C-alpha cells in the first residue's frame, strides 16, 4: 500500500517523506531555475533553506504547495503525487507564513488567524477558542485579538502570521523568510517560539532564510542551494564539520552574516 512499505523484514513500517520532489525541472519562460532537482524531507523535520539570492528557494516552496507546477518531474506530499489534487485543498492543509505576513487589513486579528478554519466551515465558537489557544501558543497578548493589523507592531504581526499558519493544524508549514523584517530582539524571540512549537507539535517545517546563523540554529537539516543546485543537505553539525563544497564552507564560515 502506498506510504506503508515494510522495510528490513523486521515488520517495521517506513513512512513516506512528508515532502518529496523527484527530478523536477522548472523554468520561467526560457530561464531554467531548477533542473533535475530532487529533495526528500521526512515527517517532523525542520528544514532550513539557504542560498544565494535568486537560486530558486521560493520556487521550491511554491512547487511544494502547488502554486507552481513543475515542467517535468513530480512533487509528492505525504506520498501522494499532487499533480491530480485540488490545489486549494492542498494549500489549506499546509501552513504558510511569509515576510510581511500579508494579513487582511479589514479583518480583526482574530479573524485573520482563523481564516483557513473559516474557509473550512469550522463553527464560530470553535474558531474563537482556537484563536485564543493559538495566541497563547505564539505568545500574542489575547487582548490584541480584537484589534486590526495596522494597530500592531511588526513583531506582533509576525506572530499573527505564525498563528494563522498553524490554525488549520497543518502537518506541514512552509515559511519564506518569515522573520526577515523584524529587529534582532524580536527575531530571537520568534525563533525561540518556532523552535518550541516544532518541538511540541512535531510539525514538518520548510523554512527559507537569508541568515546562515538562523539556518544553523533552527534547522534539524539545512539545505544549501546555489543556482538551482543543492550543494549540501545535512545537519548543522555536519555542515560545520564537513562542508561539501567551497560555497558551503564560505557560507558556514560566515555565520553571523546574512547573505
Ligand X SMILES: Nc1ncnc2c1ncn2[C@@H]1O[C@H](COP(=O)(O)OP(=O)(O)OP(=O)(O)O)[C@@H](O)[C@H]1O
Give contact residues for ligand X (rule: CB under 6 A): 28, 33, 51, 53-59
Residue 210 beta carbon to ligand X: minimum distance, rounded to whole angstroms = 6
Given the complex with ligand X, which of 64 and 182 has the nearer CB atom?
A: 64
Nearer to ligand X, 147 or 210 (CB): 210
Laid out side by side, the sheet with 80-81 consists of 31-41, 19-28, 72-77, 80-81
Query: Which residues, in sequence order, are CB contacts of 1 under 8 Å at separation 6+?
Result: none
79 versus 180: smaller Cβ distance to ligand X: 180
Q: Please, what is the minimum distance in Å from the beta carbon of residue 59 to ligand X?
A: 3
Residue 108: all three cell numbers together: 480583526
What is the closest distance, in whole angstroms, from the C-beta atom of residue 53 to ligand X in the complex? 4
Distance in Å, CB of 80 to ligand X, minimum:
24
C-alpha angle with apex 134: 175 to 193, nearest 5 degrees? Answer: 55
Query: What 8-state DSSP symbol labels residue 145?
Result: G
End-to-end CA distance of the chain: 44
- Angle of helix 154-166 relative to helix 184-201, nearest 10 degrees, comes to 20
Residue 133 CB, nearest approach to ligand X (Å)? 32
Cβ neighbors of 26 (< 8 A, separation 6 or more) are: 32, 33, 34, 37, 56, 59, 63, 68, 70, 71
CB atoms near residue 89 (< 10 Å)? 11
**Chain-centre distance of CA 13, in angstroms?**
26
Our CB check for ligand X shows the closer of 98 and 255 to be 98
CB of 227 to ligand X, least distance (A): 9
Closest CB to ligand X among 137 and 259?
A: 259
Q: Which is nearer to ligand X, 18 or 55 (CB)?
A: 55
Amino acid at each position: 500500500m502506498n506510504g506503508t512499505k515494510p522495510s528490513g523484514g523486521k515488520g517495521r513500517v517506513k513512512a513516506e517523506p512528508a515532502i518529496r520532489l523527484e527530478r523536477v525541472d522548472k523554468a520561467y519562460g526560457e530561464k531554467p531555475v531548477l533542473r533535475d532537482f530532487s529533495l526528500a524531507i521526512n515527517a517532523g523535520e525542520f528544514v532550513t533553506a539557504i542560498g544565494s539570492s535568486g537560486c530558486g528557494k521560493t520556487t521550491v516552496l511554491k512547487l511544494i504547495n502547488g502554486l507552481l507546477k513543475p515542467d517535468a518531474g513530480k512533487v509528492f506530499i505525504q506520498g501522494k503525487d499532487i499533480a491530480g489534487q485540488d490545489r486549494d485543498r492542498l494549500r489549506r492543509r499546509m501552513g504558510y507564513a511569509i515576510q510581511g505576513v500579508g494579513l487582511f487589513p479589514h479583518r480583526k486579528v482574530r479573524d485573520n488567524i482563523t481564516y483557513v478554519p473559516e474557509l473550512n466551515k469550522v463553527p464560530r465558537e470553535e474558531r474563537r477558542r482556537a484563536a485564543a489557544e493559538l495566541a497563547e501558543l505564539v505568545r500574542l497578548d489575547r487582548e490584541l485579538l480584537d484589534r486590526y493589523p495596522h494597530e500592531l507592531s511588526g513583531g506582533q504581526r509576525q506572530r499573527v502570521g505564525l498563528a494563522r499558519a498553524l490554525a488549520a493544524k497543518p502537518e506541514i508549514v512552509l515559511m519564506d523568510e518569515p522573520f526577515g523584517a523584524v529587529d534582532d530582539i524580536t527575531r530571537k524571540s520568534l525563533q525561540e517560539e518556532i523552535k518550541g512549537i516544532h518541538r511540541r507539535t512535531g510539525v514538518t517545517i520548510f523554512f527559507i532564510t537569508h541568515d546562515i546563523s538562523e539556518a544553523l540554529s533552527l534547522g534539524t537539516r539545512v539545505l544549501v542551494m546555489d543556482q538551482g543546485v543543492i550543494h549540501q543537505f545535512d545537519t548543522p553539525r555536519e555542515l560545520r564539520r564537513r562542508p561539501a563544497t567551497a560555497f558551503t564552507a564560505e557560507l558556514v564560515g560566515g555565520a553571523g552574516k546574512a547573505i
